[in-house]
Structure 1
Amino acid sequence: MTAEQLILIIEDDLQTRRFLKSSLNHRGWRTVDADCAKTGLALLNSENPDLVILDLGLPDMDGIAVTRRLRQLSDLPILILSARSQEQNKIMALDAGADDYLTKPFGSGELHARLQALLRRVSRSFGSTEVFETGRLKVDLARRQVFLSDHEVRITPIEYRLLSMLVRHAGAVVTHRQLLQEVWGAEHIHDQHYLRIYMGQLRHKLEANPARPRYLLTEIGVGYRLSVNEEVKPR
């Protein structure tokens, strides 16, 4: 993160906005905020932020619709904040184009970690390299190779497509629907048993303890996340 990075906060609750601004400013982020969708979309054009934090419960426009509009206008990372904890709301927001979802109440530490993960993913996508590393795991996207502690792990083409999708969205949750459509095609978006089978196979190959995964995490009812809690080394 650099001092120039700016976060656009679109949140109608004043107390939450104050908390977000205070927490983010304390950690070195710059912020600009809006209390409705109309103002937020205008600030997107005028302020050129690096990342958007969006509340789903806005007074003038449904948050899912705002997410779709933001995605039409920009590829910026979008972090959803919402008191709506139901899995379907998370799925709808992520399928609409959001990159991550944080349920209220939340701590400033978790918020900061999610934002850092999103920006690391953006920096990797614009980098000149296609090698991703976290902990003992390394994925060479250019050569389609996977390593644990520098020892190559043999995985199947389908396992690789699944893992590479998670790598491209590392640190953010990817929904079942997104994974199924990307790996198997639109006709298989309801075949979640495919994911359970192949994710189980990947965990047995990549995790020290498949029952307690370190890298390939389940977001219950929503999808999967490739954890980047350890230092990520894009190179």
Structure 2
Amino acid sequence: MGHVRQVLVVEQNTAAAETMVSDLRRQGFTARSVSTGERALRAHGDADLVLFSLELPDIDGLELCRSLRGAGDTALIAVTAADNELERVLVLNAGADDCVVRTWGFREVGARIEAVLRRARPRQVLPTAISLRHLHIDPQLREVRLHDRLVGVTSKEFELLYTLAATPETVVTRKELMARVWGSNWGHTSRTIDTHVSSLRAKLGSSGWIITVRGVGYRMGYAWRMPETSAG
């Protein structure tokens, strides 16, 4: 048998959420719950399937469904209060893989979860945020922060910085950078990388963040490992 499937339950009613989680665990799933749509958007990254109520305190269930679908390939099943055809159609059009009624027996719900997971594409592992001392790179928010201040970077600059920061002690060749950031069919010269690196250095306020290894490529510099300077 493969890895234990992880289910995230999104339900504002505490008692109902506890019952769902308990039933899922009895059926062999790993399960946990959150009570709001906002928390679901932050917590769904490691879930194989999200079982969400359409009735949430902060976000409309259909909007949550669209947001989750837009964020990736996680399997989605909506829980509705009644067997309403129009509601089912709206949910499925919003990106859900299935829709179940709250009053259904949980064995049927479990079977539907299994069926959806069998059909689902393998879940992509979301890239993780990287922190190098005061430099924080978040691939989910597409944000770069230095000393907790937002640094405005372009899409290519972000990909370039993230690629280097992922292995800060390793030199990344120009060829590898071009393939990762611009794709295998890129039609730019290697000077494109130099231009983007110069821009990143300026935005980060120091050339010490990215070091050129002549004839090879680039790596993260030592700025992120420099000791704090004492005030006064």
TM-score of the superposed pair, with normalisation by structure 1: 0.50
2:6 counterpart letter in structure 1: L
1:55 counterpart letter in structure 2: S
CA distance in 1, matches of 2:112, 2:47: 17
CA deviation profile, 1:139-176 (whole Å, cap 9, x unmatched)? xxxxxxxxxxxxxxxxxxxxxxxxxxxxxxxxxxxxxx
Look up the match of 2:96: 98
Alpha-carbon distance, 1:87 to partner: 1.2
- Tell me which of 47, 54, 59 is aligned to 1:61: 59
Q: Give 3-state SS (helix, strand or coil) of 1:61's partner.
A: coil
Pairing 1:13-32 to 2, within 5 Å after superposition: 13-32=13-32
CA distance in 1, matches of 2:47, 2:37: 15
Alpha-carbon distance, 1:42 to partner: 0.6
Q: Which runs of 4+ in 1 moved over 3 A?
A: 123-126
Larger radius of gyration: 2
Look up the match of 1:72: 70
Look up the match of 1:112: 110
Q: Give 3-state SS (helix, strand or coil) of 1:52's partner.
A: strand
Q: Is contact 1:77-1:118 (8 Å) kept?
A: yes
CA distance in 2, matches of 1:6, 1:75: 14
1:63 counterpart letter in structure 2: G
Change (3 A) 1:9 1:125: closer
Alpha-carbon distance, 1:76 to partner: 1.2
1:103 counterpart letter in structure 2: V
Structure 1 unaligned residues grouped into runs of 5+ = 127-235
What's the Cα RMSD here? 2.0
Alpha-carbon distance, 1:123 to partner: 5.7
1:114 counterpart letter in structure 2: R
Look up the match of 2:41: 41
CA distance in 2, matches of 1:97, 1:117: 16
2:101 counterpart letter in structure 1: T
Q: Is contact 1:64-1:96 (8 Å) kept?
A: yes
CA distance in 2, matches of 1:3, 1:13: 29
Q: Give 3-state SS (helix, strand or coil) of 1:20's partner.
A: helix
Alpha-carbon distance, 1:85 to partner: 2.6
CA distance in 2, matches of 1:81, 1:100: 9
Look up the match of 1:160: none
CA distance in 2, matches of 1:93, 1:123: 19
Look up the match of 1:204: none
Change (3 A) 1:124 1:37: closer
Identity %: 29
Aligned length: 124
1:52 counterpart letter in structure 2: V
Alpha-carbon distance, 1:27 to partner: 1.2
1:40 counterpart letter in structure 2: A
CA deviation profile, 1:2-35 (whole Å, cap 9, x unmatched)? 4532101111111211111111111111012100
Look up the match of 1:5: 5
